[in-house]
Structure 1
Amino acid sequence: MRARIRTTLNVLARRMQHQFKSGIALFRGRDSRVERLRHPLPEGHRPQDLAAILLLFCGLSMVLLDAHLHEWLDVVPGGYSSFFGWVTDFGKSDWMLAVSGLVFLSLLALNHETVSYRARLGLHIVMTGAAFVFVSVATSGILVVILKWCIGRARPKLVETMGPVHFDPFIFHGKFTSFPSGHSTSVAACAVALALLMPSYRRFILVVGFWIAVSRIMVGAHYPSDVIAGVLFGGTVSYMVARWMARRGIGFKYTQNGNIIPAFYGNSSVKACRSLWGFVRSATSIPVKTKVA
């Protein structure tokens, strides 16, 4: 039994290694085309523009909203707190990383040679999308943890003793990790990534992400300025990762006016779903080899 399990794991490991190398070979030579595919950042997306947006909205929030957060939460009906307490759990990055990582590894472990070209194309679309979501959420999550621990803003629960704008940089204590919001960063990174992958549903995805981010305010875990900074940071990371991929023709491509769209199916999510359905049908129709007695 142990020998059989060991053999199966070895076969699976070799298959995953082969599929990974095939994927690398598929995109080999893309770097030589990077300069030709380079598109300047559009106005409003440049670092100086994003810094201006951050200073404007976070500054206004600190002056007008943060100081009155607890007064406002005291008059919010209890049902709202209970509901948003449930919603806020969707802002945790662990399930985003687990789902996207498992999807990528599961598809990587499949035998791609046994399915049709259309199914293989759908498989690579999903793998690329899952990897994009994973990298976006993981990268933004790591960076925001470093930022919030270095910035050292006191959390809202300390407002009565320290006020709403108390900063103690490099104190490295959990009570001083309010700015930016980690949950909001992960939500924004995931929402923007999914919106780029499924442009037809981007409004719905972004609205859902907005309310999950707002839930951090509703449960008293963060100030509005923390959430604003987290959303801006997480969304920016996903957008920059998508630009890096588009310059290399991996999963995304540029339009003539410099916008980023999915490389294989453009703005049509219906085509993507059809491709995925073709993969599912092909995968389930693979005959199972049996020994003949």
Structure 2
Amino acid sequence: MATYFVGDIQGCFQELIALLGKVNFNPHNDQLWVAGDMVARGPDSLATIEFLMSLGDSVKAVLGNHDLHLLAVIAGHKKVKEQDKLAPLLASPNLNKITNWLAQTPLLRKLPNECVYMSHAGISPQWSIKVAEEQALLAQQKLSSAERDIWLNKMYGEQPNSWGNAVTDEQRFRYTINAFTRMRYCYLDGSLEFNCKEPPEQAPSDLVPWFQLAKPLDDCHWLFGHWAALQGKCSHKNAYALDTGCVWGEHLTLLHWENREITTQAAIKNVVTNK
């Protein structure tokens, strides 16, 4: 069995199929771990989700910010953005199945029998792995419960951006969503910053990439997406950046975990030109 990790697909279905073909992916023997942002901005979010759902237990996905935003759109809390190209998905007769599948998808996964984790954006430097696991589970329980729509409406906002200031259930939930799906940079005290998307060499001096501050990375491996500007380059030896901007005209990246071999597929067409 081979374990493959793939970066942000964002509706780039043709590229995903081509990429899996390059490694002869076999869902009967292999597993595909998806680092979130399965939908939005690319040309075929519906085909992407339906394909991933068809893989059953062979796919292990986590939610990204675009996936959560889709759930919020379906719940009526946000308006659909034209540039997200979600109209076919939202019109699908299988929308309820898709919604339920996404709502059951966690924010954090661990590779069995290894200290290897995957989340869309990373792990907050203000958390231990134990706290991260606890908060990911609590958030997943909320999103998969009968009160999902209530919690989807509570997840938006940038405060608190420090774990020490998250004292209510709502604040802890919002911080958890932001840490797992929106984080790139932190301030030196580990608090979250949400606006800078540039690569580290172009960032303001008061900002530090989360992976340079996260102590858990000293003892485990972490796979993440969300940060296309890194183009797969990460300064921490135990962190693996998987978002390589396929939807922006770059490429989709697949990591074969057992041998650390990287396979890429260049964007084919229908590239987004306006970020």
Normalising TM by the smaller chain, what interval? under 0.3
Q: TM-score, normalised by structure 1?
A: 0.23
The structure that is strand-richer by fraction is 2
Q: TM-score, normalised by structure 2?
A: 0.24
Q: Which has the larger radius of gyration?
A: 1
The structure that is helix-richer by fraction is 1
